């Protein structure tokens, strides 16, 4: 169930409000384009600036719109364990297939604290848990040994690994077992991650190139790494451009170029600079997602 290209969905805004219509349209397009799964309200979904009501509504809309056609891994993490439990309970109640639990940010817990945080959620809510390890955002890095402890808990089924450390895939596979789901959280290194035993990616780029990202993951899952490398190299300029400024600013701008939503992000994320806009546009053209403007 949890393999292939999972889109880390953006949260569209219109005049400062969560744009439910654009969100539903985005989800339908994602499924039509072959995306294997959806991840609402992760970091790419601007979870830090969504209200509790918006967070829960985004999960509800995603589950309702997907209608079990693809699995939904709902973002439910927090630096407050009680809050993460609340979001996880809500995700289970509305029918999400799993929850994504980010390592607690800012608090800077020890490895024991990370384990106890995950265990508390595991014990409180009976829903599959995908850990989310992204040290560049959280400042804490769950060690392989701690992950192996978590993998023994009943509900912990895998990890979204955004460390960009390719050795981690093999290390975590050996420590947690071959059934532990290994999903990359970093588009640029997803090819190598899959070669090391990964089974997919929770992708930013898939917001605007869902068909190509799904085709790439299908090739990896089939063991056709020659084809996968070709698609990866086609996508690489876009992977780079979508992180030219802080995510999700660039990908929201890219989505606006496709008419999917407005480019709005919430403060403290600033609007993209003109230079960054040009870089995103050029990458979209190079991948074949946009036509170059005719010379005036």
CA–CA gap between residue 94 and residue 108 (Å, rounded): 31
pTM: 0.96
Q: Is 44 left (phi over 0), alpha (psi -120 to 50) or beta?
A: alpha
State the Cα–Cα distance between residues 146 and 103, nearest whole angstrom.
12
The predicted pLDDT at position 292 comes to 75
What are the residues whose beta carbons fall under 8 Å from the beta carbon of 260, sequence distance 6 or more? 12, 22, 25, 26, 29, 207, 208
Q: Show the CA angle centred on residue 187, arms to residues 183 and 190, nearest 5°.
A: 55
Q: How far apart are CA 278 and CA 257, in angstroms?
A: 11
CA angle, corner 213, sides to 144 and 30, nearest 5?
110
> How far is residue 146's CA from residue 288's CA, in Å, rounded to a whole number?
42
Helix H or strand E encompassing 172: helix 167-176
Q: Which residues contact 231 (CB under 8 A, 6 or more apart)?
A: 212, 215, 216, 219
Q: Which tokens in the block code for residue 37?
A: 């799964």
* β-bridge pairing 156-161 and 181-184: parallel
pLDDT tens, position by position, for the chain (296 residues)? 899 999 999 999 999 999 999 999 999 999 999 999 999 999 999 999 999 999 999 999 999 999 999 999 999 999 999 999 999 999 999 999 999 999 999 999 999 999 999 999 999 999 999 999 999 999 999 999 999 999 999 999 999 999 999 999 999 999 999 999 999 999 999 999 999 999 999 999 999 999 999 999 999 999 999 999 999 999 999 999 999 999 999 999 999 999 999 999 999 999 999 999 999 999 999 999 998 764 44
Domains of the chain: 4-222 (3.20.20.70)
Q: What is the pLDDT of residue 56?
A: 98
How many angstroms separate the most distant Cα atoms in the chain? 63
Catalytic residue set: 132, 160
Q: What distance in Å separates the CA atoms of residue 215 and residue 210, rounded to the nearest whole number?
A: 8
Three-state DSSP at 17 gives strand
CA distance 217 to 5: 6
| Cβ neighbours for 256, distance < 8 A, ≥ 6 positions apart | 262, 263
pLDDT of residue 1: 87
């Amino acid at each position: 169930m949890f393999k292939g290209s999972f889109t880390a969905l953006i949260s569209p805004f219109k005049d400062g409000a969560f744009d439910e219509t654009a969100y539903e349209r985005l989800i339908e397009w994602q499924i039509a384009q072959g995306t294997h799964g959806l991840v609402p309200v992760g970091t790419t979904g601007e979870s830090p600036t969504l209200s509790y009501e918006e967070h829960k509504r985004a999960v509800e809309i995603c589950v309702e719109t997907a209608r079990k056609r693809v699995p939904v891994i709902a973002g439910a993490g927090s630096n407050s364990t009680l809050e993460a439990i609340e979001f996880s309970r809500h995700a289970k109640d509305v029918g999400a297939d799993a929850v994504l639990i980010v390592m607690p940010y800012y608090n800077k817990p020890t490895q024991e604290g990370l384990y106890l945080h995950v265990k508390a959620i595991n014990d409180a809510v009976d829903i599959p848990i995908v850990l989310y390890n992204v040290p560049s955002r959280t400042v804490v890095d769950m060690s392989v040994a701690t992950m192996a402890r978590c993998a023994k808990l009943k509900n912990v089924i895998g990890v979204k690994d955004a460390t960009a450390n390719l050795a981690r895939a093999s290390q975590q596979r050996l420590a947690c077992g071959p059934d532990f789901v290994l999903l990359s959280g970093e588009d640029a290194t997803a090819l190598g991650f899959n070669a090391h035993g990964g089974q997919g990616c929770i992708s930013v780029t898939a917001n605007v190139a869902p068909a190509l990202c799904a085709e790439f993951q299908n090739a990896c899952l089939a063991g056709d790494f020659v084809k996968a490398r070709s698609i990866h190299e086609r996508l690489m300029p876009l992977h780079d451009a979508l992180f030219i400024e802080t995510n999700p600013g660039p990908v929201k701008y890219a989505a606006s170029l496709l008419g999917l939503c407005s480019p709005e992000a919430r403060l403290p994320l600033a609007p993209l600079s003109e230079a960054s806009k040009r870089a995103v546009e050029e990458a979209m053209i190079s991948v074949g997602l946009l036509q170059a403007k005719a010379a005036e």
